[in-house]
Chains A and B, each alone.
Chain A
Amino acid sequence: MSDQPPLEDFLAEAEAFLDSHYARRAPEERSRFQWGEGSDEVRVFQEPDPLEEAEAMPRIRAWRAALWDAGLAWISGPKEYGGGGLPRSYDAAFTHLSRKFDVPGDAALTVSLGMIAPTILRHADDRQKGEYLPALYRGDLIACQLFSEPGAGSDLAAIRTRAIADGDRWFITGQKVWTSGAHLADVGEIICETAPGPRHHNLTAFLVDMHAPGVTVRPLRQMTGGAAFNEVFLDGVEVTDRARLGATGEGWRVALTTLSYERNAMGHSAFGGAGILSTERLMQLVRHAGVADDPVVRRAFGELVTELRVARYTQEVMAERARAGQSPGPEIALNKLALSANMAGLGEFVASVLGPRLIADTGEWGTYAWTSVVLGAPGYRLGGGSDEVLKNMIAERVLGLPRSS
C-alpha cells in the first residue's frame, strides 16, 4: 500500500500524541513489581469497587475519544468504518508503546472491543457497521454479551429468551445471566429464540439498547464474594428490525463468532507485566515467604514457570500465524484450556509457598491476597465455555472425531 507509513514514522507520531496527553511511567513502575508497595490486590476477575469504577469510566471514555481523534483507536480496522487500515503489527506495536505511558487500561472494554466489535464487523450490514463500529472504538458506546441463561449454559443452543416479530419490530422477553459489564453497557449483543425449531436454526442475534424500557440489570455475586457479572432481565423490550445482527435464524453462527473471540481474549488475558502470573512477582513471594532454598518449592516454581511460559510461547506462535494471514481456527481454544489449568496450578503453588497465611488474613502484605486465585480458579474452567464443552468442540472441529451422541 502506497499510503502506509513506515512503522517507525507511525510510532514516532503515536509517541508524540501520547507525550502531549499523558505522563510517562517511570521504567521500574511499568516493569518491576515492588514487594510491599501499593495495593497487594491479586486481580483474577474484573470486580472493581462500583464507586471507583464509576469514577474511572469517564477517563476511559475520554482516552478512547482522544485515540479516535488521533487515528489510533482502531489502527488495523478497515478505513470505510473509520479504522486506520494498517497491518495488525502496527496495532501490537502501539499497544506496546502505550504501556510506557500512564494511560487508562482497556480492561473494562475487553468485551466491547475484543468480542462484540469484531462480531459486528463480520456479521453486520454496512449501515450497522457505520453506526456501531466508530461509536464502539471511540468509547461512545460500550457493549456487552447477552448469551447464557439459567437454563442454557453449556447447552447454549437451548436459549429460551424469545424475540417475537410484529411488523418491523421485535419484542424480547427472557432472562440472561453471567453478563460481564452489563451495568456499564449501552448496547448488548443478544441471542434470542425466534422460531420453534430446528435447533441451531431457530436463533437470531440483535443489538439491544441496554437503556431501553424493560431492561433490568442486577449484579450477580459469585463465589469469590465479588460481583464481576450481572443478571439481565428483559420484559417485552422493543427493538426495530434494523437492530437485527445477521439474518433471522442465523443467530447461532453469530454467537459462535463471538465465542471464538471470547476464547481468544481469555487465552490472551493480560496477566503479564506486574500481573499475577509475572515471574518477578512469584519470585518475590517465594523469597518473602523464606522458602527460596527449599528444593521442593524451587522444583514447583520451575514447573509453574514452564507451564506459563509455554502458554505464552504458544500464543506468540499463533499470533505470528495470524499476522501471516491465517485467521485463528478453533485450536485457539487450547489457550483457554491452558489458562484454566494454569490458574489451578498457580493456586496450588501459592498454597505450598504460603501455608496457613493463605487461609487467614494476618494483615501481612501480599499473602492472604492470593486467596482470590484459589477462589477464582474454578470460574476459569467454566467461563467462555467449560473445559468439557471446549474439548467437545475441538474434538469435532480440529480433530474431526465423530460427534458424541
Chain B
Amino acid sequence: MSTRPDLALTGEHDELRSTVRQFLADTSPPATVRRVIESPEGFDRSSWRQMAEQLGLQALLIPERYQGLGQGAVEAHLVFEELGRALYPGPYFASAALATNALICSGDDNACLDLLPGIAAGSTIATVAVAEADGRWDDASAIRAMARRNRDGWVLDGSKAFVPNGQVADLFLVAARTDAGLSLFAVDSTDPGVQPRELESLDLTRRLAELSLAGASARLVGEDGGAPGVVAAMLDRALVALAAEGAGGAARCLEMSVDYAKQREQFGRPIGSFQAIAHRCVEMLQRVEFARAASRYAASCLAAGSGEFPVAARVAAAYCGRAYRWVATENIQVHGGIGFTWEHDAHLHYRRSWASETLLGSTDQHYLTIADRLGL
C-alpha cells in the first residue's frame, strides 16, 4: 500500500481553484467584506447560500453517503487557500472544517446521517464549542461543562468560550464531561437552554462567541467518553485548514506589498528599488511559498492516509501560523503610514493572522507536540 503523499495537481484542481477565486471575486470582493463585517451577523447570507447552491463548497469534505461531494483534503486545501486570500467572513471554517470533521471523526453514522446533510446544503451553520475560559482545545482535564442524563436524553450545563461564529450557528458540537469522561454532544441553537453571546473579537472577519448552557437538551455524538480522540483528530484536520487559509492570506499580503513597492515613489524612485524593501519582499515570498507547500503537503498526507500526517499537520500549523503573522506584519511596514490606517485592508489580514495563529493552540504548543509525536 502506498501511503506517500501525491503532490501532483491535476487540471481539475486548477479548475476548482479558479472557480472558487472567481466566485469570491464576484460575491465577496474587498469592498463587500468591508460592508458585511460592519453588519450585525458579520457575513452575507445570500452569498453563503450561493456558495452552497452553485459550488457546493459546504459539502466538499462530506462523504456522498451524507449527501456531500466526498472530496479529499487536497481539494479542501485549495478552497481554504482561496478563502484565506479573500478574507471570506462567512462561517465556512467553523462549519466545513471544525464541525464537519468533528462529526466525521466521531464515526457516529446516525448522527452523520441526521446532521451532515444540512451542513452540506449550507442550510445548517454548525460550529464546535470545546474551549472554555482558559482557551485550551487540547486539554480534556480543563473542561468543566457537565452532561447528565434525564428521562429524555442528555442535558448540558456550563459555559464555553472562543466558539468560532457561535453567534450565527444553528448547531453546536459541544465537549462536556460525563461519568465516562469527556464526550461530544450536538446542541440545537433554538433550544431555550442555549445562549450564545458574541465576544468583541480581534479578527473582524471571524468573530468568536461564548456559549452558556443551562439545562440544554443534547444528543450524544459518538461514544460516551469518546471525545478526546475525536477532538484530537478534528484539531489536526482543522489546523491544516487554518494553515491553508494562512498560506492564502499571506500570499495576498505579499501581492499587496509587491504592487505597492512598484508603484509608490519616495526619494524620486519606486520604493521597491531599495534593497531594504526588495529583500523584505523576497523574505515574504519565501515564507509564502514554503507555507503553501507545507499546508499542501500535510493535506496530501491526510488524503493519502500517510503515517506522516500527525507530524506534518503540526509542522504545517506551526509554520503557516507564524509565516502568515510575519508576512501580515511586514505588509504593514512596506506600506508605511497608509498601512496603519483603518481604511487599508492590511490590518484585516494582520488581525486574522494573530487570531489564526492563536485560536486552536499556539505555535509553541505545536513545537512541543511535534517533539512528542516524533518520540523525543
Contact = CB atoms under 8 A, between A and B. Distances in A.
B107 interface: no
Contacts of B311: 305, 309
A334 B285 contact: yes
A304 to B, nearest CB: 9
A306 B318 contact: yes
Nearest to A398: B285
Contact of A302 (B262, B290, B297, B370): B370
Contacts of B91: none
Given A398-B285, A402-B273, A302 B279 contact: no
A317 B278 contact: no
Contacts of B364: 299
Contact of B282 (A311, A324, A395): A395
A348 to B, nearest CB: 15
Nearest to A283: B376
Interface in A201-229: none
A129 to B, nearest CB: 31
Nearest to B255: A399
A241 to B, nearest CB: 40
Nearest to A304: B367
Given A317-B296, A401-B258, A337 B286 contact: yes
A41 B9 CA distance: 40
A292 B376 contact: yes
B8 A324 contact: yes
A302 B368 contact: yes
A400 B282 CA distance: 11
B269 interface: yes
B366 interface: yes
A127 interface: no
Interface in B279-321: 279, 281-283, 285-286, 289-294, 296-297, 311-312, 315-316, 318-319
A401 B319 contact: no
Contact of B367 (A303, A320, A394, A405): A303
B367 A302 contact: yes
Interface residues of A, number: 43
B270 interface: yes
Contacts of B316: 310
A316 interface: yes
A314 interface: yes
Contacts of B319: 306-307, 310
B261 interface: yes
Contacts of A391: 275, 278-279, 282-283
A300 B269 CA distance: 42
Nearest to B261: A401
Question: Which label, helix, strand, loop or mixed, suits the secondary structure of the B interface?
Answer: helix
B371 interface: yes
A295 interface: yes
Given A299-B367, A399-B285, A404-B273, A311 B290 contact: yes
Contacts of B286: 334, 337-338
B153 interface: no
B7 interface: yes
B296 A309 contact: no
Contacts of A298: 367-368, 371, 376
B371 A402 contact: no
Contact of B290 (A292, A314, A324): A314
A316 B371 contact: no
A352 interface: no
A295 to B, nearest CB: 7
A257 interface: no
A278 B273 CA distance: 40
B370 A306 contact: yes
B67 interface: no
Nearest to A302: B367
Interface of B: 7-9, 258, 261-262, 269-270, 272-275, 277-279, 281-283, 285-286, 289-294, 296-297, 311-312, 315-316, 318-319, 364, 366-371, 374-376
Identify the 10 closest CB pairs spanning chains A and B, nearest first.
A302-B367, A313-B297, A395-B278, A401-B272, A314-B293, A320-B7, A302-B370, A317-B293, A298-B371, A402-B273
Given A313-B293, A318-B293, 20 more contacts: A283-B375, A298-B371, A301-B376, A302-B369, A302-B371, A303-B367, A306-B318, A306-B319, A306-B366, A310-B315, A313-B296, A338-B286, A392-B278, A399-B285, A401-B258, A401-B262, A401-B278, A402-B269, A405-B269, A405-B273
11 contacts: A298-B376, A302-B366, A303-B318, A305-B311, A311-B290, A314-B290, A320-B7, A337-B286, A388-B275, A399-B258, A399-B282
